[in-house]
Amino acid sequence: MHSMLRKIWVIIMVGTLSGLGFYIYRNLRPSAARSLNVREWIRHPQDHQGWAIQAGTRCGQAPFLLPTDGFIGYLWDDSFKLGHRHQGIDFFAGTGVDQTPVIAAYAGYLTRLPGWRSSVIVRVPQDPFQPDHQIWVYYTHMADQVGNSFISPDFPPGTLEKNIEAGTLLGYQGNFSGDANNPVGVHLHFSIVKDDGQGNFLNELEIRNTLDPSPYLGLPLNAAKNDGSIIVCKEPIQN
Ligand SMILES: [Zn+2]
């Protein structure tokens, strides 16, 4: 009887562990593949020029311009660790800090809160896909690891609702993470943030407060739908 119980236990444990293992595998494998590509791109960008997209490009009929140069390393809803979901997309320059320009993907009203060293957010009164909704476009990591800002002097801390056009220079890619000892690889984190319905942006750190950027940029940027292939613009139009 005891050995029977033990067998049942073993079966339950094996089933649970393999289910968990499959869950981890399915959720982490594509972003693990992307991590390898990001590392390779950062080390040898010159060997992979076909991986790069260009700032100012409009992919097909997309309403937004691509906001910077580089390799699209991480996607919306990528998972770097269990339970974490990436709320935006990451463009890796393949250069040092303060070299690769970041431009506005879309026109709107730019705000930089007084404490923001590396970020700006642009209010778009009419979502091009849902004109009765307001959305916000967020750009970050535009500072070095100790927080020296690379944001354009046109947008000092405390800038409120400054009208900008698509293509306006916002700043340059950096590696600021908030922890000077652990900088990120040089990249732009870009996300589309929902409004709270009262004219304020929601907390960008929660994926449920963000939108899948795929249709806005005309690229397959949803991690759940991407098999790990390199993302480039198929029908580029240089503006
Ligand atoms: Zn990111």
pLDDT at 18: 72
Check pLDDT > 60 for residue 24: no
What confidence tens digit (pLDDT) does each residue in 168-192 have? Answer: 999 999 999 999 999 999 999 999 9
For residues 10 and 167, the model is more confident at 167
SS (H, E, C) the chain: CHHHHHHHHHHHHHHHHHHHHHHHHHHHHHHHHHHHHHHHHHHCHHHHHHHEECCCEEECCCCCCCCECEEEEECECCCCCCCCCCCCEEEECCCCCCCCEEECCCCEEEECCCCCCCCEEEEECCECCECCCCEEEEEECCECCCCCECECCCCCCCCCCEEECCCCEEEECECCCCCCCCCCCCEEEEEEEEECCCCCECCCCCHHHEECCHHHHCCCCEHHHCCCCCCCCCCEEEC
What confidence tens digit (pLDDT) does each residue in 92-139 have? Answer: 999 999 999 999 999 999 999 999 999 999 999 999 999 999 999 999
pLDDT at 70: 97
Cα-to-centroid distance, 125 and ligand 1 (Å): 24
pLDDT at 11: 78
Neighbours of ion ligand 1 (CB under 5 A): 88, 90, 189
What confidence tens digit (pLDDT) does each residue in 90-102 have? Answer: 999 999 999 999 9
For the entire predicted model, the pTM comes to 0.88
What confidence tens digit (pLDDT) does each residue in 32-81 have? Answer: 889 999 999 999 999 999 999 999 999 999 999 999 999 999 999 999 87
pLDDT at 82: 79
pLDDT at 29: 66
Cα-to-centroid distance, 234 and ligand 1 (Å): 23
